[in-house]
Copies of this chain bind each other. A is one copy, B any other.
Amino acid sequence: MVPNPIYLPELREMLAENNVEEMREFCTAIHPVRVAEFMEGLTPSEIWTILQSTDLENRVEIFSYLDEEMQADIMEAAPREEIAEFIAYLPADDRVDALQAVEEDQVVDELMSLLQAEDRRDIQRLTSFPEDSCGSEMTTDFVRLNENMTVKEALDEISRQAAVIETVYYLYVVDENDHLVGLVSAKQLLKNIGRPDTQIKTLMKRDLITVDAMEPREHAAREVARYDFLAIPVVDDEHHMLGIITHDDIIDVLEEETTEDAYRMAAISPMEEKDLEAPFVMIWKSRVVWLSLLFIAELGTFSVLAHFNDAIEAISVLVFFLPLVISTGGNSGSQAATLITRAMALGGVKVSDFFRVLKHELLMGLALGGALGLIGFVRAFCTTDYLLAGVSRVQLSLTICFTVAAICMTGTLVGALLPLLFKRLGIDPGVASSPFVATFVDVTGIVIFFSIAKILIL
């Protein structure tokens, strides 16, 4: 969030005068989002003091719009007892995130010991799921109903819980063993507000889309994105109701996955922090490892070229075309790899589509290579006379034409099939990044180039 310094002097004055009335006014008159924005620039203790002036609900909402780091800093700076009491009212998933961002383990231990046993257990359970699993992403704050309740009873139950529960729009119906048996939306309840004795079991949906707590969180994100849900229930392998993942967390998951994919596609190791905000050395590491590996792989071009030393000496004009012909492989490979990786991320292409993709990209490579080969032919045909030592104009033009077409096809095929192959082998398909494909095709491209030249010219 970008600090907005407009209000800072006023806020500092309020704090200096300990003017609780004005602080309350500030916290309630404008949108909680803006309150959070205007307070950036104050110290964690100052923010905590201002938050004390407003009621608990508003305090929780404003707090939720602060950066995670600021939330953690406040937890470290404010009196332990006050924070421990406050934590009980934070959404179950948000408080776990904030606690995990606290750097001092000592602080977390002290806070945990001050929490009620139930909250402590809840936090421990949520942190026990593997990273990036559905379980790690869910919240345990949701409304449980019983199928024998009436609409009126259900509405009363929501009314009671609305102060402490973030999402009250999907209500989950469980049996006596906490198995998930149905879902009813607040909308359906509101629609039946005039028929208060209607039983929940007559309204609820029984056939539900759920995710398993151990499944990767992207799976939940895909389901919610596809079906426009507000939240998706998370169950264990015995269909016990564990929690829900809400639409806002789904958006965060999708964005994080997208950024990771984009980074991998450009051969950057995934980073937690956003670029330019992360420490210099961390960004450097996430970039230099891949760059060095690619550089070392690209050393192969040296050896291949040295191998074709005789052809290079015989037909020196070929060298002038070298960057041109091999770049075609990188560009076409980058296109194909992006299309396939993106289609895989969106669920449109699966590993089992290997042969369908092979056929499609083989034809596409031909159609693309044909077009580029033609341009290459024309350019080679216009080569100045004095450069054409030891080779006829037609020979050279045909060599360039066939080489460009062949390299374009290779790039397209490699770019499209490597991600699928990697996925099949259990390697992240993003490793088949554009630079990786380009490097692979650079080496291959040189072999193709001089092999065709040897056949057509020498």
- CB pair A31–B208 under 8 Å, yes or no, is yes
* Closest beta carbon of chain B to A320's beta carbon, Å: 4
- A side interface size, CB within 8 A: 120
Interface check A60, CB cutoff 8 A: no
Of all chain B residues, the one with the shortest Cβ separation from A271 is B339
B323 adjacent to A442 (CB under 8 Å)? yes
Q: When the two chains form their complex, are residues B263 and A342 in contact, meaning their CB atoms are under 8 A apart?
A: yes
Find chain B residues with CB under 8 A from A252 CB: 225
Q: Which of A3-11, A124-132, A361-369 contacts B (4 or more CB under 8 A)?
A: A361-369
Given A225-B252, A291-B331, 9 extra CB contacts under 8 A: A158-B190, A266-B338, A275-B343, A288-B371, A298-B323, A298-B328, A306-B387, A312-B316, A312-B319
Residues of A participating in the B interface, judged by any CB pair closer than 8 Å:
29-31, 33-34, 64-65, 155-156, 158-159, 162-163, 168-169, 186-188, 190-194, 205, 207-209, 224-225, 227-228, 230, 247-248, 250-252, 254-255, 258-259, 261-263, 265-268, 274-277, 280, 283-284, 287-288, 290-292, 294-296, 298-299, 301-302, 305-306, 309, 312-313, 316, 319-324, 326-328, 330-332, 334-335, 337-343, 346, 348-349, 353, 356-357, 360, 363-364, 367-368, 371-372, 375-376, 379, 384, 387, 404, 408, 434-435, 438-439, 442, 446
Q: Inside 8 A of A334's CB, which chain B residues have their CB?
A: 266-267, 434-435
Residues of B within 8 A of A295 (CB): 324, 327-328, 331, 372, 375-376, 404
Asked if B207 and A187 sit within 8 Å, CB to CB, the answer is: no
B294 touches A368 (CB 8 A): no
Cα distance A376–B294 when bound, in Å? 12
Partner of A287 from the list B266, B288, B335 (CB cut-off 8 Å) is B335
Give the contacting residue for A258; candidates B168, B186, B258, B263; CB below 8 A: B258
Residues of B near A341 (CB, < 8 A) are: 262
State whether A299 and B335 are in contact (beta carbons under 8 Å apart), knowing that A342-B262, A348-B274 are contacts in the complex.
Answer: no
Residues of B within 8 A of A159 (CB): 190-194
7 CB < 8 A contacts A-B:
A262-B265, A276-B348, A288-B367, A291-B372, A305-B322, A309-B387, A322-B323
A299 partner, pick from B156, B254, B324, beta carbons under 8 A = B324
Closest Cβ of chain B to A214, distance in Å, is 22
Known contacts A267-B331, A372-B292, A375-B295; is A287 also within 8 Å of B364 by CB?
A: yes
For A29, what are the chain B residues with a Cβ–Cβ distance below 8 Å?
207
Using Cβ atoms and an 8 Å threshold, which residues of chain B touch A340? 275
- Chain B proximity of A311: nearest CB distance (Å): 12
Q: Which residues of B contact A266 (CB under 8 A)?
A: 265, 334-335, 337-339, 434
Residues of chain B contacted by A326 (CB below 8 angstroms)? 323
List chain B residues, Cβ under 8 A from A321. Answer: 302
List residues of chain B with CB within 8 A of the CB of A274.
343, 346, 348
Interface centre among A258, A337, A371 (most CB of B within 10 A): A258
Q: How far is the CB of A330 from chain B (nearest CB, A)?
A: 7
Write out the residue numbers on chain B whose beta carbons fall within 8 Å of the beta carbon of A353.
276
Determine the residue in chain B with the shortest Cβ distance to A266: B338
The interface residues of chain B lying within 8 Å CB-to-CB of A225 are 251-252, 255
B288 touches A305 (CB 8 A): no
Query: Are A338 and B190 neighbours in the complex by a CB distance under 8 Å?
Result: no
Q: Is the CB of A31 within 8 A of B247?
A: no
A270 CA to B155 CA in the complex, in Å?
47
Least Cβ–Cβ distance between A258 and chain B, in angstroms: 5
> Out of B65, B155, B408, which one reaches A227, CB within 8 Å?
B65
The complex places the Cα of A193 from the Cα of B186 at a distance, in Å, of: 13
- A288 and B368 in contact, given A263-B338, A266-B434 (Cβ under 8 angstroms): yes
